[in-house]
Structure 1
Amino acid sequence: MSKKVQVSKEIAGRTLTLTTGQLAKQASGSILLQYGDTSLFIASQTGPSRPGTDFFPLTIDYRERFAAAGKFPGGFLKREGRPTQREILTCRLTDRPLRPLFPKTFRDEVQVMINVMSCDGENDPDVWAITGGSAALGVAPLPFQGPIAGVRVGMIDDEFILFPTVEQMKESDLDLVMAGSKESVLMIEGFGDQIPEDQMVDALMFGHEAVIEICKMQSELFKKANIEPFEYEAPAENPWLSTVEKEFSGKIKEARQNTKKVERSAATKAVRDAAIEKYFPGEETELEDGRTLADLKEAFYQTDLKVCRSLTMSGKRLDGRGTDELRQIDCEVDLLPVVHGSALFTRGETQSLATVVLGTVRDEQRVDGLFDEINQSFYLHYNFPSFSVGECRPIRGPGRREIGHGALAERSVAPVLPKKEAFPYTIRIISDILESNGSSSMASVCSATLGLMAAGVPISQPVAGISVGVIKEGDDYVLLTDIIGDEDHFGDMDFKVAGSQKGITGIQLDLKIDGINEEIIRKTLEQAKIARRELLRTMLSTIRRPRPELPDSAPRIVTTKINPEKIGLVIGPSGKTIRAIQESTGAQIDIVDDGTITISGDNKEVCSGALAHIEALTEEIKVGRIYSGTVSSIKDFGAFVEIAPGKDGLLHISELSDGFVKSVADVVKVGEAIDVKVIAVDDQNRVKLSRKAVLAEQGLTDSEDESDDDDDDDYDGEEE
């Protein structure tokens, strides 16, 4: 395409512009998307399928360049490296609604590359990757059944906000990203502060109105660019399909009705192996009529899928449960010594072991990107080892799935954590999946909640998570509470919902079909609510509420806030003062620019000692208060007394005693400890002290002692 084509429309008070035909003309499709002053360039590219590929190889790559915000990458290498967690999560967010809109038999390579070219600091580019990806696929010669669009919905004071700005999101009780077509919803990922189910659906419907408008924009772009619908020819029916259905569907049905995952899989595999042995007893892979072993395996998979779906639609779940029935739940806390909290959550054949560790401000995770650098004081890491599903695979670092599941559980738990001011700890949770058969991310939410309560973290409400699936045939459908792995694999939906008794904290929808309607969404959330409350009752029977005290192994932390102008006083020249406090008390002290001081130590006594030092350094000198000070120097007109670290006051000679004073040195000496009263602080913060006022308040006098000394002096003179 060589002709530039552009469409624009005002969305939520800002202009959205889609442009094609100007950039990357050798790509299969390309789009320049601009919203406000945030812009993304999206290119789609297709290529032939690799031999033996039995899945749709779609790759989404989203990157945020620091230059887009006028910044340089940190570190030694001034070039972006591997994708950040935020970029990986955005890739997943974009992939999930796009993938179901290709024919199930399509196997060509497809790449969608999304680069953030400019960021105005006001409009977050992540959600626009979905719309840009849809538009780039729509102008390419691909069987893409779009368009779709992605929107973000916030909520401030119970008012929904479409595409909230970065600043508005800081005040929002809801962060909801959804994608859909003109007719239905395709993907949901949202987090909120215990949002009621009805309000969450209302937010989705509010967002879907904008989805429809943006989809119409894309259709207008395709029409102006003369994009013809791609004619896709589906492959011929598998030559083995009718044979396998006739001979083996009954055996598959029998094998699939087993409550144990391993036994169910083994029985099904035995039927498959028998089919292969019957038609391919030797090493040959192709029969004389052209039918191949690969075709037989694919036909068996299609028959297996059809049998499982048919069983479920008839009301017979693979493990024998009712459609709204939870699996067996078992909970246990305090499994591990030394760590600050631990919990084991088991739901059927899915098991998560949570480990909780509490740290100080120095353990916070620093996160840099297009926007301001932040310090993250809560993070949840999710591990999915291959043994959890009875497999051997190479041991590598966390993949996209692990990062995505960890982030989902983390953000689902975060709304119930105590405020930083009340609980100044850094919290790390590790969820190790020891066994998996469906919805391990929601099991992580449950184990994390139990672990936090066992560690004594004062969460506001316990949180649990559950996944609901759907099998849909035409207009008929059945919802399945607490889906197992096979139901996720053969089904059409994985709808994860986490929350407390009050409402939803996290929600994620993945589909394999081209969308669901409002009715299914409402029924799913209601079914998930019932299951969540049942889960919470079981969890709370194990540990009723957060422990009243932190474990002995956890550090102790106290915070205080001082006048920012006095930060230098606490730090001292070249850090001398703060180092001295830390060395003398054994505490760790951290100061931020707003005057907040965090003190951590092994026990309360350590923290209290350091706090006393800091309070003495920074407290305001109060008129009328008596201080115990030390004489730091003597002058003819009086003495200077240090009444607080680094703070001296003048004790004038007239305020030294209630009697006559010839010389200051006759009453006090350098280094002597004396009690003095503050009688004035002038506008230059100079302090005036009085010893005489202290004597008066205490009913003491030293005038007689002073006169006796004078008499002694006179007497000695006469004797001489």
Structure 2
Amino acid sequence: MFNVTRKSIQWGNETLTLESGKVARQADGSVIATMGDTSVMANVTFAKKAKPGQDFFPLTVHYQERYYAAGKIPGGFFKREARPSEKETLTSRLIDRPIRPLFVDGFNHEVLVIVTVLSHDLVNEPDILAMVAVSAALTVSGVPFMGPIGAARVGFSNGEYVLNPDVEDMQNLRNNPDQRLDLVIAGTKDAVMMVESEAYELTEAEMLGAVKFGHDAMQPVIDLIIDFAEEAAKEPFDFQPADYSALYAKVRTAGEAQMRAAFAIKDKQERTNAISAAVSAIKGALSEEDLANENLGASIKKLESAILRGDIINGGARIDGRDTKTVRPIVSETGILPRTHGSALFTRGETQGLVVTTLGTGEDEQMIDALTGNSRSNFLLHYNFPPYSVGEVGRFGPPGRREIGHGKLAWRALQAVLPAGTDFPYTIRLVSEITESNGSSSMATVCGGSLSMMDAGVPLKAPVAGVAMGLILEDDGKYAILTDILGDEDHLGDMDFKVAGTANGITSLQMDIKIAGITPAIMEQALAQAKDGRMHILDEMAKALTQAQAFSQYAPKIETMQIPTDKIREVIGSGGKVIREIVELSGAKVDINDEGIIKIASSDAAAIKRAYDMIYSIVAEPEEGRIYTGKVVKLVDFGAFVNFFGKRDGLVHVSQIANKRLTHPNEILKEGQEVKVKLLGFDDRGKVRLGMKMVDQETGEEVAEKKEESSEA
């Protein structure tokens, strides 16, 4: 009934297996990839006809994690997987980016890729496995795909590169001093297609070494997919790219001069309007038959690309007049919003980000429910890209994949320099409002985020800056690497290579390639050129701020205290009764974790002290010989019970109340009276023994005992 194809190799410390022919047989390509006990299924379908007039490639990738894969039931009311999590969205982008450039030019048929995590052993990360499964599914589907690609994760521990580190090794990288890198790489046999990384101030040489290590490590996977496809692949889909050279010649004749003049305009909005006018002029010069040609859009884009790329590759100036290495003019400002905890406006050319920092308490940490378990994050970064930032009228709604991806890139760049939670016990939220955009708004978020946090008083280990690099690579091998690319250079170029870091090293690197990959030599030059650009940007940022400023008066103040873990239950109380009472009476926020670390937060220092004292009285033990202030809570024939330490009571025996004989304690004391007592010790049953007569009730100082008066006197 089944025609199963199954291939395996030993890859690193695990066995990688590809299987097809048993599940989802009606998909054009279906592959289940397994490593350890982690299994991922990739299914590919594609339309056999393109939609009329389709002038772009409609590829959609959906990566989805099923909670059953880790033996879990989803949280929430409905107990069903709902909208994609941030991890699912980012992994969908991770899969999309290296495969998109490898479809044959002109193939505009709709392609749908659905990836499902079926089993997760909590050791092998499913995202790498998902990329491998998709590559294999595309290769066997018959779609015109110029793959396969391979993928790998690279760690850097104790000076050594590590292939596909375990999930546990890569979790909470900030608190793992032995692991300095989380790099995901994808590529073909000959070239790198995509890099995504989170790093801890690695040098350019170390990053380049990681890329080379990962590319070499994925080669057995590519060979496995080729071997697998030789048995499982379907007949190639009959697709011949359209020849629109004649149409392109007409477009070029009709509008090259006007289009070239438009690209010579430096202002973005004026240039955009001029390009639109040139496109209208071209269409006005063409026949009805040419206008109906579905390759008209591709012809116009080819003309735009030829003009922009040709000028640069032949040694001419870029659109805005810069050479290939110059960064646009930069203006950095901080403290521009009076009531926020920290703010910065970072402007680079026609790209601008308003980045705002808000400091919160442990209650503000983000709860993350993932297959690997629940966790909390105390650093949040949200990136917003409204239509007005590019002068357009467009969709306005919840964040899409682009906003989530750009925000995560900036998050990776900045989290490497955050202070330890024990040194700075705040939840940090950054919000980046992109108010203008003409290329590299994610790197503007990095620069503005660094300045904004320092303005809020966050003691960063070092300022962070980021720059986007571009590439123009011609068929004859000539190329040009561009520093700080514009939007048009990103759109019409061959690479978007973002590098962020401090003066000491790289903290994040992301590379997207629109051609069939680049060589190590090009990447090495791009990294070196990016370092020069980053150092220049850091110098410009230093004109605004170089270190953390004083705390805003509106930010909460937080004090931490460590208590024994066996005292946690006492501080919380039954059903949280005790901790709620502390919060209510002190006016401060109180947060406690499983390690016994308590964070007390308030904008009022007196409220923090009240809460601290109340908690201390619960967890601390009274010291023998020390003098305390207490309150009489009960009088009995043989003495007085005094509440002297939190909720601790002790007995002052009638003989220890005064330096004279008393018939009953009520001769001197009354209930509710405040007294000074000395802790004399504990009896055989652990009861507290207190004394008053040796303490001056006015000053609280210990005095020498007077000889007790005789009963006769």
Shorter-chain TM-score tier? over 0.9
What residue is the counterpart of 1:222 in the other structure? 229
> How do 1:502-521 residues align onto structure 2 when only pairs under 5 Å count?
502-521=504-523
Is the contact made by 2:20 and 2:31 (CA closer than 8 Å) also made in structure 1? yes
Query: Map of 1:225-264 to 2, 5 A cutoff?
Result: 225=232, 232-264=239-271
- Higher deviation after alignment, 299-308 or 96-105: 299-308
Provide the C-alpha distance between the structure 1 equivalents of 2:274 and 2:575, rounded to a whole number of angstroms. Answer: 73
Cα distance per residue 1:567-624 (max 9 Å; x no partner): 3333345544433332332212222232222212122222122212221222122233
Aligned residue for 1:546, secondary structure, equals coil
Q: Deviations over 1:166-187 (max 9, x none)?
A: 2111332211111112211110
- State the partner residue of 2:15: 15
Alpha carbons 1:349, 1:437 under 8 Å: kept:
yes
Amino acid at match of 2:15: T
Counterpart among 691, 703, 716 of residue 707 in structure 2: 703
Quote the Cα distance in structure 1 between the aligned partners of 2:159 and 2:686: 49
Question: Could you tell which deviates more after superposition, 295-304 or 449-458?
Answer: 295-304
Whole-Å separation in 1 of the counterparts to 2:684 and 2:92: 60
Code of the residue aligned with 2:243 in structure 1: it is A
Q: 2:111 maps to what in 1?
A: 110
SS at match of 2:55: coil
C-alpha distance in 2 between matches for 1:520 and 1:295: 32
Q: 1:550 to 1:109 in 2, by over 3 A?
A: same
Indicate conservation of the 8 Å contact 1:2/1:25, yes or no. no
Q: Distance in 1 between matches of 2:29 and 2:196?
A: 27
Give the whole-Å Cα distance in 1 for the aligned partners of 2:693 and 2:200: 61
Aligned counterparts, 1:634-653, within 5 A: 634=635, 638-652=639-653
Partner of 1:494: 496
Instruction: Please name the residue that 1:147 is paired with.
Output: 148
Deviation at 1:247, TM superposition (A): 4.8
Distance 1:192 1:449 in 2: 16
The equivalences for 1:200-211 within 5 A come to 200-211=207-218
Q: Counterparts of 1:159 and 1:676 in 2: how far apart (Å)? A: 63
> Rg bigger for which structure?
1
Q: Structure 1 stretch 374-383 or stretch 266-275: which is displaced more?
A: 266-275
CA contact (8 A) 2:54 2:294 kept: no
Shift of 1:657: 5.8
1:547-696 residue pairs with structure 2 within 5 A?
547=549, 549-634=550-635, 638-652=639-653, 669-680=670-681, 686-691=687-692
User: What are the Cα deviations for residues 360-413 of structure 1, in whole angstroms up to 9, with x where unaligned?
Assistant: 222221111212111221111111111111111132211111111111112211
Taking only aligned residues, the RMSD between alpha carbons, in angstroms, comes to 2.4
In 2, Cα distance between the equivalents of 1:439 and 1:336?
A: 24
Aligned to 2:531: 529
Residue 272 of structure 2: which of 265, 281, 296 is its match?
265
Work out the percentage of aligned pairs sharing the same amino acid.
43
SS at the partner of 1:164? coil
Q: Which moved more, 1:615-624 or 1:137-146?
A: 615-624
Helix, strand or coil: the match of 1:87?
Answer: helix
Gaps of 5+ in 1: 713-720
Superposition pairs for residues 36-51 of structure 1, below 5 Å? Answer: 36-47=36-47, 48-51=49-52
Partners of 2:139 and 2:233 within 8 A in 1: no
| AA at the equivalent of 2:281 | A
- Distance change (3 Å), C-alpha of 1:700 and 1:465: same
Shift of the alpha carbon at 1:194? Answer: 1.4
Paired amino acid for 1:201 = L
- Cα distance in 2 for residues equivalent to 1:616 and 1:492: 66
Aligned-pair CA distance for 1:344: 0.8
Question: Equivalent residue of 2:91, what SS?
Answer: helix
User: 1:372 maps to which residue?
Assistant: 373
Alignment of 1:444-463 (within 5 A): 444-463=445-464
Kindly state the Cα deviation for residue 459 of structure 1 after the two structures are TM-superposed: 1.2
Q: Cα offset for 1:659?
A: 6.5
Q: Which residue does 2:467 correspond to in 1?
A: 466
Q: 1:572–1:266: structure 2 CA closer, same or farther, 3 Å change rule?
A: closer
8 Å Cα contact 1:657-1:703 kept in structure 2? no
Which residue of the partner structure matches residue 121 of structure 2?
Answer: 120
- Is residue 24 of structure 2 the alignment partner of residue 24 of structure 1? yes
Q: Which amino acid aligns with 2:433?
A: D
Cα distance change of structure 1 residues 656 and 332 upon mapping to structure 2, 3 Å threshold: same
Using the TM superposition, name which of 617-626 and 478-487 deviates more: 617-626
Question: 1:271: how far off?
Answer: 2.5
Q: Distance in 1 between matches of 2:159 and 2:673?
A: 65
Q: Deviations over 1:401-455 (max 9, x none)?
A: 1111111112211111122222222211111111111011111111111111111
What is the aligned counterpart of 2:482 among 452, 473, 480? 480
Distance 1:221 1:174 in 2: 32
Aligned partners of 1:139 and 1:98: how far apart in 2?
14
Secondary structure of the 2:142 match is coil
Query: 1:106: Cα distance to partner?
Result: 0.7
Q: Which amino acid aligns with 1:477?
A: Y
Q: Distance in 1 between matches of 2:707 and 2:573?
A: 41
Q: 2:129 and 2:682 mapped to 1: Cα distance?
A: 60
Mapped partners of 1:302, 1:130: distance in 2 = 31
Following superposition, the deviation at residue 668 of structure 1 comes to 5.2
Query: Aligned partners of 2:296, 2:130: CA distance in 1, in Å?
Result: 39
- C-alpha deviation, 1:274, in angstroms: 2.1
Letter paired with 1:703: K
Structure 1's 116 and 645: CA in aligned 2 closer, same or farther, altered over 3 A? same
Select which of 198, 202, 216 maps to 1:191. Answer: 198
Query: Deviations 1:112-143 (Å, cap 9, x if unpaired)?
Result: 11000111122221222111110110110111
Match of 1:716 in 2: none
Contact 1:675 1:694 in 2 (8 A): yes
How many equivalent pairs are there?
701
- In structure 1, the partner of 2:420 is 419
TM-score (norm 2): 0.93
Greater shift, 673-682 or 15-24, is seen at 673-682
Residues 28/227 of structure 1: CA separation in 2 closer, same or farther (3 Å cut): closer
Instruction: Tell me: CA distance 1:461–1:340, structure 2 relative to 1, closer, same or farther (3 Å).
Output: same
Secondary structure at 1:467 match in 2:
strand
3-state DSSP class of the match of 1:264?
Answer: helix
**CA 1:140–1:455 in 2, change beyond 3 Å: closer, same or farther?**
same
| Distance change (3 Å), C-alpha of 1:95 and 1:183 | same
1:526 deviates by: 1.1
Is the partner of 2:60 in helix, strand or coil?
strand
SS of the residue 1:515 aligns to: coil
3-state secondary structure, aligned to 1:441: helix
Of residues 283, 289, 294, the one that matches 1:276 is: 283
Aligned equivalents of 1:56, 1:249: Cα separation in 2:
25
Query: Matches of 1:63 and 1:689 in 2, distance apart?
Result: 66
Tell me how far apart the structure 2 counterparts of residues 574 and 45 of structure 1 sit (CA, whole Å): 53
Distance, in Å, in 1 between the alignment partners of 2:437 and 2:579 is: 50
Which residue does the alignment assign to 2:311?
311
State the alpha-carbon separation in 1 of the partners of residues 462 and 204 from structure 2. Answer: 17
Residue 717 of structure 1: aligned partner: none
Shift of 1:563: 1.8
C-alpha contact 1:418 1:460 (8 A) present in aligned 2: yes
Distance (Å, rounded) in 2 between the aligned partners of 1:576 and 1:492: 62
Structure 2: how far apart are the matches of 1:617 and 1:138?
66
Once the two structures are superposed, residues 465-512 of structure 1 have per-residue CA deviations (whole angstroms, 9 ceiling, x without a partner) of 100000001322110000001111110000001111111111110110
Note closer, same or farther for the CA distance 1:38–1:296 as it changes in structure 2 (3 Å cut). closer
- What one-letter code is carried by the residue in structure 2 that aligns with 1:451? S
* SS state at 1:373 partner: strand
Q: 1:257 Cα shift?
A: 1.9
Measured after TM superposition, the shift of residue 527 of structure 1 is: 0.8
In the other structure, the counterpart of 2:321 is 320
Find the aligned partners of 1:684 and 1:238 in 2 and give their Cα distance.
100
Larger CA deviation: 442-451 vs 240-249: 240-249
Which whole-Å CA distance do the structure 2 matches of 1:544 and 1:195 have between them? 21
